[in-house]
Structures are given as structure tokens and as C-alpha cells.
């Protein structure tokens, strides 16, 4: 298998070739290694070095032998150092065992062959951590950000180096990179994928684990393979009536779809090309037989932003100060970026009362959106407020920024995504549009809690009606 053939297949296609004996898993890995080596000098997406051989995997799994990567945050493989994008961890901390989701990835047959970069502790909408010595870059334009915090994973997927890769999402970190790079980014419902054993509710319930892919069928088939609770998990969601892959293939029933291109904070600007893209997609959906209306839930944006800020900063304070104490490494500018320290300092001022207050706001917000979605099946928005931003725009080492100023800068760009982390509802970004200059624009669809099936069915229809498979970025392994 040559690299061009490898890069042309999604994960499902590669799994079928391996299963049918048309190519061996070792041949696929050789092509993947060559592809990774080809794009890495331009994208700087791998944390450290790719593995010489993949980690062990179940050869009977549905994705047996398909190359994959883990993001350097939250999920970890036993015996593989992890850094969470921070110099605080030095060369990395090695855990003795897999997290539950990583074990499920390996049981699904995924051949984990690299670790992808993360911004420091994941609190950024770009992937430019000092810990790795330079920014990860967007394969469409290397002076642009691939998004964050899963931007390195998205860059490798869209560049053809990997068919899909692990990602996680606490405020948009699956969907923002998917939008910036032109990938499919599904954030499942809270509880759909397991965060254990290290966490019960990462980031006060905001953090969700899954992946970025190139195709809808890969997202659906991967969710079929890894969804479900482990003993001790806080949530137990019912599975779909039929497989997610079947939903994606069968397509959608007629839906009532609400659409808005106005963020919760109406004072945040949205690029006209993003607005136009949403309008175009809404028109196509109406042509496909859906009822499309301009509408949005009414929310208290001031209370929302304070609660979301407090959740993030309490998480960062706990993570940083806990790691600092355990490792005996001081939490200072030598080991941490300036905005991380600012968030930690603010987080240290919060009390249990503040966290309970944030939880009350989250509850009020969730109930407002859930009530709105009794009248609509899906809410359609831009994924981000702008096309891919220049590198350096979100400088996490800017010592002039307070915690709140840093929060505002992140969510000025990711102004449509955080709502669905707070509500725990599923949301997906699809690469349905491009700017006049050819940069990707992501379109977000969000649905009712536990109803990934509706989103994947609609996404399957849109992939067939508005295909993106023939688009190739400037940096691509198959060129």
C-alpha cells in the first residue's frame, strides 16, 4: 500500500481492506508512518516522536489495524508518558494502565501510533503550547491555527496522515479544530463515553472524550465501538435503537431545525462568511424537506460566562496545584504559561459556594435549552465566530491578560460551542463550507441529550448532499 492509497481511505475503508486480506495491518502501519513523517515537519502535530510500532490492539476489533493517535490530555495509555501540554510535567508522567476509553479504543482494534499535542491543560482554542517548542499548524495554511485544544489531532486527520484521532472537548475542543481544519467533530452527550477511572465528571461535567474523523460513517462506527459506561461511572445512557452507523447510512426523517448565527453574547462579532455559510446550509436543509426557523434559546449570558469561567479556573487550579505538589515542581512561570497562572490564581480565590453557584447556573441553562429543544429537534449555528485564526492570536503566554480577559479571548472565537458542554447535549461540527480564500468553515448542529442518532443521521444526509471528500489541504500526505 502506498501513501496516496492509504491517505485516500477513511478508517472504515482501511478496516475493510485489512479484514478482506487485501492489505496487511503492517503494510497499513508502514504507510501511516511514512505519512506521519511526511507531514510532521510542516504541521508539528506529534508530541515527541511517533512510535516505531503501534501499541498492542485486539485483532478481532471492528477497526483492527487502523492507525490512530491519542491526544496528550486526560486519556492515557499505560506506560506512555503524558504531559497535558505543560512544562510542569517535564518529560512526562507515565501511568501504569490505560484509561477506560483508551482500553476501548484498543479493543476496537485501533493501532495507536502517536501522541498528539495539546495546549497547556487544554484551555485554549489553538494548539500552541510552549512545552513542545512551537505551534501546531493548519494543513490548509501553515500560518493559521488548527484550532484547539485538539488541533493537532484534527491537523493529522485532515492531512491524510491518520484516518481519525482521539480528541476531547471541554468548551469546543473537538468541534473548534474540526471547523478550523475541515474535519468531522462529534462531541457526544455527557455520559456517552467513559471518563474513568481518573475522573467522574471532568471539568465539573464539561469535559467529554471522543475523536475527530474525516467521514460521518467513521464517527458513527467509532461511537458504536466505544460508547457505554464502566462500573463506577456516574451516568448510564440508553444506547441507540439501532447502531449509529445504521442511522448515519439511513439518513434523517424530516426535522424541525432552529437556526441562529448570533452568539449568546450578541456583542461578540461573527465573520460575515460564517454567517453566509449558515444561511446557505439552512436553505439547503429547507430544500431537503426540513422545517427551518430562525430561533435560539433565551439565556443569561452574564451568569453563564461567570459560571463557565469559574468551572475552568477551579479545574485548572486543582490540576496545576495538585500536580505541583505531587511532582515537587513549583507552579511558576518557569513551568507554566502566563494565562494558566492567571487562571490558577483566580481559581484559588473561589470557594465551595462559588462552585455551587456555578452548578445552579448550569442547571438553569440546561433546563432552558432542553425546553427549547422540545419545540425543535436540532439547533444549527456556526461552529466558530471566524474562519481559522492566525497563529499567535491566542497567545497563552501573554502576561498582560487576566483570567477573565483570557477566557473572553478564547470564547470570542469559540462563542457557539461552550453552551453544549454546559448542557451535556451532543453537538457535531461538519465541514460544509469554505471561505473565498479556500479555508474551512465548520457548521455546528446540536441536539437533545442522548440523541446522537438524530445528529448522525442528519450529518450523513448532509455529507451526501454537500460532500467534502474531494477537498485536499496544501499539506497532505497523499500529494
Strands (E), 16-66: none
Q: With the C-alpha atoms ordered 108, 113, 116, 122, is the resulting torsion angle positive or negative?
A: positive
Q: With the C-alpha atoms ordered 297, 302, 303, 308, is the resulting torsion angle positive or negative?
A: positive
What pLDDT score was predicted for residue 251? 97
C-beta of residue 252 within 8 angstroms of C-beta of residue 264: no
Q: Is residue 474 part of a domain?
A: no
End-to-end CA distance of the chain: 15
Q: Average of pLDDT values for 349-369?
A: 98
Q: Work out the pLDDT band at 60, boundaries 50, 70, 90.
A: very high
Q: Average of pLDDT values for 364-393?
A: 98
Strands (E), 316-365: none
What share of the chain in percent tops pLDDT 70?
100
- Quote the CA–CA distance of 21 and 208 in Å, as a whole number: 35
> 291 — phi, psi (to 5°)?
-90, 115
Q: Is residue 477 part of a domain?
A: no
Indicate if 118 belongs to the active site. Answer: no
What share of the chain in percent tops pLDDT 90?
100
The active-site residue out of 86, 118, 145, 173 is 173
The closest of 139, 196, 148, 183 to 168, measured between CA atoms, is: 148
pLDDT tens by residue, 148-168:
999 999 999 999 999 999 999
pLDDT at residue 361 above 90?
Answer: yes
Burial bucket for residue 13 (CB in 10 Å: 0-12, 13-18, 19+): middle
What pLDDT score was predicted for residue 166? 99
Strands (E), 249-360: 256-259, 291-294
pLDDT at residue 313 above 90?
Answer: yes
Global pTM reads 0.98
What pLDDT score was predicted for residue 404? 98
- Quote the CA–CA distance of 292 and 249 in Å, as a whole number: 23
The active-site residue out of 71, 84, 219, 429 is 71
What pLDDT score was predicted for residue 70? 98
Q: Is residue 298 part of a domain?
A: yes
Indicate if 149 belongs to the active site. Answer: yes
pLDDT tens by residue, 400-452:
999 999 999 999 999 999 999 999 999 999 999 999 999 999 999 999 999 99
Q: Is residue 479 part of a domain?
A: no
C-beta of residue 381 within 8 angstroms of C-beta of residue 278: yes
Buried b (16+ CB within 10 A) or exposed e, 229-243: beeebebebeebeeb
- What's the grid cell of residue 68? 490512530
- Quote the CA–CA distance of 459 and 178 in Å, as a whole number: 14
- Quote the CA–CA distance of 186 and 446 in Å, as a whole number: 10
pLDDT tens by residue, 255-298:
999 999 999 999 999 999 999 999 999 999 999 999 999 999 99
User: 103: helix, coil or strand?
Assistant: helix
Q: Is residue 109 part of a domain?
A: yes
What pLDDT score was predicted for residue 285? 98
What pLDDT score was predicted for residue 90? 97
For residue 408, what is the DSSP state?
Answer: H
Q: Is residue 472 part of a domain?
A: no
Range of the domain at 270: 3-465
Other CB atoms within 10 A of residue 308 CB:
25
- Quote the CA–CA distance of 331 and 217 in Å, as a whole number: 43
Please spell the DSSP secondary structure of 122-151, one letter per residue.
G-SSS---GGGTS---BTTBTTB---SSSH
CATH number of 90's domain: 3.90.1300.10
Q: Average of pLDDT values for 53-71?
A: 98
The active-site residue out of 86, 145, 149, 385 is 149
Q: Average of pLDDT values for 182-191?
A: 99
* Mutual angle of helices 338-348 and 403-413, in 10-degree steps: 120
What pLDDT score was predicted for residue 479? 85
Please give the mean pLDDT across all residues of the chain.
98
The closest of 442, 402, 371 to 180, measured between CA atoms, is: 442
Q: Average of pLDDT values for 360-373?
A: 98
- Quote the CA–CA distance of 345 and 320 in Å, as a whole number: 11
Place of cell 460564517: 274
Q: For residue 298, how far is the Cα from the chain centroid?
A: 26
Q: Is residue 471 part of a domain?
A: no
- What's the number of domains the chain is made of? 1
- What's the grid cell of residue 167? 480528541
What pLDDT score was predicted for residue 55? 98
- What's the grid cell of residue 311? 468551572
C-beta of residue 131 within 8 angstroms of C-beta of residue 86: yes
Indicate if 429 belongs to the active site. Answer: no
363 contact partners, CB below 8 Å, separation of at least 6: none
- What's the grid cell of residue 236? 448510564
C-beta of residue 412 within 8 angstroms of C-beta of residue 152: no
pLDDT tens by residue, 90-134:
999 999 999 999 999 999 999 999 999 999 999 999 999 999 999
266 contact partners, CB below 8 Å, separation of at least 6: none
Q: Is residue 475 part of a domain?
A: no
> Distance of CA 406 to CAs 83, 340, 401, 402, 412, Å?
22, 9, 6, 6, 10
Amino acid at each position: 500500500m502506498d501513501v496516496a492509497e492509504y491517505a485516500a481511505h477513511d478508517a472504515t475503508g482501511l478496516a475493510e481492506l485489512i479484514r478482506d486480506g487485501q492489505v496487511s495491518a503492517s503494510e497499513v502501519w508502514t504507510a501511516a508512518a511514512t505519512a506521519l513523517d511526511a507531514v510532521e515537519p510542516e504541521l508539528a502535530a506529534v508530541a515527541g516522536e511517533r512510535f516505531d510500532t503501534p501499541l498492542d490492539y485486539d485483532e478481532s476489533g471492528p477497526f483492527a489495524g487502523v492507525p490512530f493517535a491519542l491526544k496528550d490530555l486526560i486519556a492515557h495509555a499505560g506506560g506512555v508518558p503524558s504531559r497535558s501540554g505543560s512544562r510542569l510535567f517535564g518529560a512526562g508522567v507515565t501511568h501504569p494502565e490505560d484509561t477506560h476509553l483508551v482500553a476501548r479504543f484498543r479493543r476496537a482494534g485501533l493501532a495507536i501510533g502517536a501522541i498528539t499535542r495539546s495546549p497547556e491543560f487544554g484551555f485554549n482554542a489553538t494548539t500552541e503550547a510552549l512545552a513542545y517548542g512551537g505551534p501546531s499548524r493548519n494543513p490548509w495554511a501553515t500560518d493559521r491555527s488548527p484550532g484547539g485544544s485538539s488541533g493537532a489531532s484534527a491537523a493529522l486527520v485532515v492531512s491524510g496522515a491518520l484516518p481519525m484521532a482521539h480528541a476531547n472537548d471541554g468548551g469546543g475542543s473537538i468541534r473548534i479544530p474540526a471547523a478550523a481544519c475541515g474535519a468531522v467533530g462529534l462531541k457526544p452527550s455527557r455520559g456517552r463515553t467513559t471518563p474513568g477511572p481518573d475522573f467522574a465528571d471532568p471539568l465539573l461535567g464539561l469535559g467529554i472524550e471522543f475523536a475527530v474523523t474525516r467521514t460521518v460513517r467513521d464517527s458513527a462506527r467509532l461511537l458504536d465501538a466505544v460508547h457505554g459506561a464502566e462500573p463506577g461511572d456516574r451516568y448510564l445512557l440508553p444506547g441507540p435503537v439501532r447502531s449509529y452507523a445504521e442511522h448515519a447510512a439511513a439518513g434523517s426523517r424530516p426535522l424541525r431545525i432552529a437556526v441562529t448565527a448570533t452568539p449568546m453574547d450578541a456583542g461578540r462579532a461573527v465573520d460575515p462568511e460564517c454567517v453566509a455559510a449558515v444561511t446557505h446550509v439552512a436553505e439547503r436543509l429547507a430544500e431537503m424537506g426540513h422545517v427551518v426557523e430562525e430561533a435560539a434559546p433565551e439565556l443569561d449570558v452574564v451568569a453563564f460566562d461567570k459560571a463557565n469561567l469559574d468551572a475552568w479556573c477551579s479545574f485548572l487550579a486543582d490540576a496545576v496545584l495538585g500536580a505541583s505538589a505531587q511532582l515537587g515542581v513549583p507552579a511558576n512561570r518557569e513551568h507554566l504559561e502566563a494565562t494558566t497562572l492567571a487562571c490558577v490564581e483566580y481559581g484559588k480565590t473561589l470557594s465551595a459556594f462559588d462552585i455551587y453557584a456555578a452548578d445552579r447556573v448550569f442547571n438553569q441553562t440546561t433546563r432552558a435549552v432542553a425546553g427549547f429543544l422540545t419545540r425543535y429537534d436540532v439547533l444549527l449555528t456556526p461552529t466558530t465566530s471566524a474562519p481559522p485564526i492566525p497563529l499567535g492570536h491566542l497567545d497563552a503566554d501573554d502576561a498582560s491578560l487576566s483570567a477573565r480577559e483570557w477566557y473572553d479571548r478564547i470564547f470570542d472565537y469559540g462563542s457557539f460551542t461552550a453552551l453544549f458542554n454546559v448542557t451535556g447535549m451532543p453537538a457535531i461540527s461538519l465541514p460544509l463550507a469554505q471561505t473565498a480564500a479556500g479555508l474551512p468553515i465548520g457548521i455546528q448542529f446540536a441536539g437533545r441529550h442522548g440523541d446522537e442518532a438524530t445528529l448522525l443521521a442528519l450529518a450523513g444526509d448532509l455529507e451526501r448532499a454537500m460532500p467534502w471528500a474531494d477537498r485536499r489541504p496544501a499539506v497532505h500526505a497523499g500529494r
